[in-house]
DNA sequence: ACCTGTCAAGTCTGG
DNA sequence: CCAGACTTGACAGGT
């Protein structure tokens, strides 16, 4: 099994390259000259896109072909204050430049809209802003000229005291989305509410790929063994150009089980790779650790001494279990 | 240069 | 019904 590793949004090695620079709503309010404030927002967004490009070059230089964009590229996006501001026409070229690097170097990218994107909420305003957020994320991918193989990954949402009903509500809301949005989505199990079993069943029903988060699974499962789900997980990716993707992280501590640790524990990685190797010959692993790309490089280094591992380059390995 | 507190969002819990 | 916890990186304000 060929395994490629990726990281999220920012680098611990590339300095002054935040792709998430922003302005608070209250700071925006305090600027008397609204036009000047809007210009500053556009400048921040432009910096975020240019830094994203720098981060992509960093990836390329280290053989990394899997990267998740920051979901905060556009400051105050969706906020009432900036109504009428068209980031997309103003930053057309910046978006295009990012996409150009991605396509030229065949990097797998995507977004993870924040957990306030809740499609199954009983509140109409929450659903509406969630759809608007998804639309914005897809617009960014389109502005980069990246097709549906680059996904927006979301969770199912809240349970509202009736998880089964909440799941059905998600399916209903999903079915009401434009096909354009649907085709860019993939679904991930979360650490509190929707387990692998529940999320996978929903993903199968709506025809979206399923992203396994091994850490969330550990926080939120019902004694179910992952081995029961691996074949079905892989099947949800069968029509996709890229291989199945999974999220890998370790708990910060026993008292902070849900929080992400600085680095990934080798054992967690090995456990994941063992399971995946039974069902797929390609896997993309998104590292979700505080130390970002440093955690990726450290994990590769640690994996190198495992008997089942052959290191291919700085960011990928071959797993060959005895 | 560094440190601490605040900011955004939605859900859930506890009072 | 309301306040606070949860989460995260960056802002904001203090020293």
Report chain A's mean pLDDT, rounded to a whole number: 94
Q: What is the 3-state secondary structure (H, E, C) of A61-111?
A: HCCCCEEECCCCCCCCCCCHHHCCCCHHHHCHHHHHHHHHHHHHCCCECEE
More confident residue, A149 or A28: A149
Cβ of residue A16 lies below 7 Å from strand B: no
**pLDDT tier at A322, thresholds 50, 70, 90:** low
pLDDT of A254 over the 80 cut: no
pLDDT at A259: 80
The integer distance in angstroms from the CA atom of A250 to the C1' atom of B14 is: 30
Would you place residue A208 in the very low, low, confident or very high pLDDT band (cuts 50, 70, 90)?
A: very high
Q: Region A270-299: what's the mean pLDDT?
A: 96
> What is the pLDDT confidence band of residue A260, given thresholds at 50, 70 and 90?
confident
The distance (Å) linking the CA of A22 with the C1' of B8 is: 11
Percent of chain A with pLDDT over 90: 83
Arithmetic mean of pLDDT, A234-256: 92
Is residue A93 exposed (0-12), middle (13-18) or buried (19+ Cβ within 10 Å)?
exposed
How, if at all, do strands A316-319 and A2-8 pair?
Answer: antiparallel
Q: Convert the pLDDT of each residue in A76-117 to its tens digit.
A: 998 888 888 999 999 999 999 999 999 999 999 999 998 889
Alpha helices in A147-262 (DSSP H): 163-176, 179-182, 196-206, 214-219, 230-235
In the prediction, which pLDDT does A256 show? 77
Alpha carbon A70 to chain centroid, angstroms = 9
Give the model confidence (pLDDT) of A114-152 as tens digits: 888 999 999 999 999 999 999 999 999 999 999 999 999
Strand B proximal to A116 Cβ, under 7 A: yes
Quote the Cα angle for A287-A290-A294, to 5°. Answer: 65
Residue A81: CB less than 7 A from any atom in strand B: no
State the pLDDT at residue A30.
Answer: 84
Residue A1 makes CB contacts below 8 A (sequence gap 6+) with A273, A276, A277, A280, A281, A282, A283, A318, A319, A320
**In the predicted model, is pLDDT for residue A224 greater than 80?**
no
Instruction: Please count the residues of chain A.
Output: 322
Query: Quick one: average pLDDT of A24-50?
Result: 90
Task: Find the DSSP H helices in chain A.
Answer: 25-30, 34-61, 87-90, 92-104, 124-143, 163-176, 179-182, 196-206, 214-219, 230-235, 266-277, 292-303
Core vs surface per residue A130-160: b (16+ CB within 10 A) or e: bbebbbbbbebbebbebebebbbbbbbbbbe
Is pLDDT above 70 for A172? yes
**Pairing status of strand A185-188 against strand A245-248:** unpaired
Q: Is A23's CB less than 7 Å from nucleic acid strand C?
A: yes
Q: Are A21 and A44 in contact (CB under 8 A)?
A: yes
**pLDDT at res. A31:** 86
Given a cut of 70, is residue A253 above it in pLDDT?
Answer: yes
Q: Is the CB of A75 under 7 A from strand B?
A: no
Give the model's pLDDT for residue A110: 96
Is the CB of A96 within 7 Å of strand B?
A: no
């Amino acid at each position: 099994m060929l395994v490629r590793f990726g990281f999220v949004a920012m680098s611990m090695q590339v300095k002054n390259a935040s792709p998430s620079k922003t302005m608070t709503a209250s700071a925006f309010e305090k600027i008397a000259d609204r036009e000047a404030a809007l210009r500053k927002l556009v400048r921040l967004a432009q910096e975020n896109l240019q830094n994203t490009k720098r981060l992509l070059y960093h990836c390329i230089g280290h053989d990394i072909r899997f990267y998740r964009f920051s979901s905060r590229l556009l400051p105050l996006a969706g906020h009432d204050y900036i109504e009428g501001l068209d980031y997309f026409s103003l930053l057309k070229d910046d978006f295009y430049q990012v996409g150009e690097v991605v396509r030229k170097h065949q990097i797998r990218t995507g977004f993870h809209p924040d957990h306030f994107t809740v499609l199954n909420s009983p509140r109409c305003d929450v659903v509406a802003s969630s759809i608007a957020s998804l639309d914005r994320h897809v617009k960014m991918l389109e502005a980069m000229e990246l097709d549906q193989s680059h996904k927006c990954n979301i969770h199912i949402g809240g349970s509202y005291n009736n998880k089964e009903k909440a799941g059905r509500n998600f399916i209903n809301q999903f079915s009401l989305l434009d096909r354009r949005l649907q085709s860019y989505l993939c679904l991930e199990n979360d650490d509190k509410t929707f387990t692998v079993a529940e999320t996978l069943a929903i993903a199968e029903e709506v025809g979206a790929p399923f992203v396994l988060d091994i850490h969330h699974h550990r926080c939120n499962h019902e004694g179910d063994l992952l081995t029961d789900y691996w074949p079905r997980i892989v099947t949800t990716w069968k029509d996709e150009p890229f291989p199945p993707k999974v999220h890998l992280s370790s708990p910060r501590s026993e008292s902070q089980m849900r929080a992400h640790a600085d680095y990934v524990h080798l054992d967690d990685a090995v456990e994941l790779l063992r399971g995946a190797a039974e069902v797929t010959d390609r896997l993309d692993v998104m590292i979700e650790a505080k130390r970002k790309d440093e955690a990726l490089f450290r994990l590769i280094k640690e994996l190198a001494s495992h008997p089942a591992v052959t290191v291919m380059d700085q960011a990928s390995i071959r797993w060959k279990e005895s």
